[in-house]
């Protein structure tokens, strides 16, 4: 079976996945996911990029220069009804993450240019959680680092739970055209987790002219890259879906356009 060029398969190693601008063939978004055993550490030099560390599971201690952040993260599974803790780190910093118990962390990056941002702890207890959509399009969203949080220069980070038999990122929408305030250009990664983990889900990425039209079967830990186009997701019966979205572009604004062919379903029913 041919694997879509937009699909990055999960590894069973310490590094689950690693998407760089070079490997993706784009400009802005970088994404890594790591498994850290208790007492294991990972050191990251941000350089010319900003970083949002999302503690997906477990608990970590973070050191950024003389600043120490204890007790980041509390949940055992990404499907727990608890928001994650995160840490924003601007460019030209060195971060050391040490797991105080087995942990999974996401490292979300984008270009950093403002020079005005500071290290900031993002406590899950302060994150906005909302339900979006109706019926089988219902999903549950947690804003980790979105536009109303001005901690970042370019990064936008959000996580979503899509119940079994539901759709998400739906009706299909895109953000690949510079026509603000109606639409902005944002690259995006989807880091997928499945419950139970032997399951799968589906994601399609397509453009109006179908010059890009990829259908991906995603399994636990896989990443789908969205360079442009619409990108809906479907969770089959029996398997809940989690995904972590990382977005970044020339400006830090999220404005999207729905596929006109499917926008009818947003009209109120009488």
Element (H, E) at 113: none
172 is a domain residue:
yes
- The number of residues in the chain equals 270
DSSP 179: B
Among candidate residues 123, 121, 85, 90, the one with its CA nearest the CA of residue 105? 85
Range of the domain at 239: 13-263
CA distance 155 to 108: 8
Q: pLDDT (tens digit, 0 to 9) for every residue of the chain, 270 residues total? A: 678 999 999 999 999 999 999 999 999 999 999 999 999 999 999 999 999 999 999 999 999 999 999 999 999 999 999 999 999 999 999 999 999 999 999 999 999 988 899 999 999 999 999 999 999 999 999 999 998 889 999 999 999 999 999 999 999 999 999 999 999 999 999 999 999 999 999 999 999 999 999 999 999 999 999 999 999 999 999 999 999 999 999 999 999 999 999 999 988 765
**CATH number, residue 166:** 2.60.120.10
Q: Vertex 253, ends 19 and 8: CA angle to 5°?
A: 15
Structure tokens that stand for 128 in this block: 């906005």
Asked if the peptide bond before residue 171 counts as cis, ω within 30 degrees of 0, the response is yes
**Assessment of whether the complete model's pTM goes beyond 0.95:** yes
- Residue 67's DSSP bridge partners are 64
SS3 content of the chain, % helix, strand, coil (to 5): 5, 50, 45
1 is a domain residue:
no
Distance of alpha carbon 98 from its chain centroid, rounded? 22
2 is a domain residue:
no
Element (H, E) at 23: helix 21-24
Beta strand 173-174 pairing with 139-145: unpaired
237 is a domain residue:
yes
Residue located via tokens 């539901």: 166
CA distance 178 to 250: 9
Please say whether the beta carbons of 167 and 265 come within 8 A.
no
7 is a domain residue:
no
For the chain, how long is the longest CA-to-CA vector?
60
Exposure class string for 227-237: b at 16+ Cβ within 10 A, else e? bbbbbbbbbee
5 is a domain residue:
no
160 is a domain residue:
yes
State how many domains the chain has: 1
CA distance 81 to 77: 9
């Amino acid at each position: 079976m041919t694997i879509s060029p937009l699909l990055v398969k999960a590894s069973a190693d310490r590094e689950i996945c690693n998407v760089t601008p070079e490997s993706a063939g784009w400009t802005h978004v970088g994404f890594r996911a790591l498994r850290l055993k208790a007492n294991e550490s990972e050191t990251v030099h941000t350089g010319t990029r900003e970083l949002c560390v999302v503690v997906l599971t477990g608990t970590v201690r973070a050191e950024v220069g003389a600043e120490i952040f204890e007790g980041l993260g509390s949940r055992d599974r990404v499907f727990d009804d608890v928001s994650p803790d995160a840490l924003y780190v601007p460019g030209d910093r060195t971060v050391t993450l040490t797991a105080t118990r087995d942990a999974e962390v996401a490292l979300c990056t984008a270009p950093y240019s403002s020079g005005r941002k500071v290290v900031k702890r993002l406590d899950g207890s302060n994150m906005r959680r909302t339900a979006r959509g109706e019926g089988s399009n219902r999903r549950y969203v947690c804003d980790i680092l979105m536009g109303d949080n001005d901690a970042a220069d370019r990064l936008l980070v959000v996580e979503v739970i899509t119940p079994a038999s539901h759709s998400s990122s739906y009706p299909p929408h895109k953000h690949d055209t510079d026509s603000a305030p109606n639409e902005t250009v944002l690259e995006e990664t989807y880091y997928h987790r499945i419950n139970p983990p032997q399951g799968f889900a589906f994601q399609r990425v397509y453009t109006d002219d179908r010059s890009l039209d990829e259908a991906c079967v995603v399994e636990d830990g896989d990443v789908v890259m969205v360079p442009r186009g619409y990108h809906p997701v479907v969770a089959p019966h029996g398997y809940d879906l989690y995904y972590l979205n990382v977005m970044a572009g020339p400006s830090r604004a999220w404005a999207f356009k729905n596929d006109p062919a499917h926008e009818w379903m947003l009209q109120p029913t009488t």
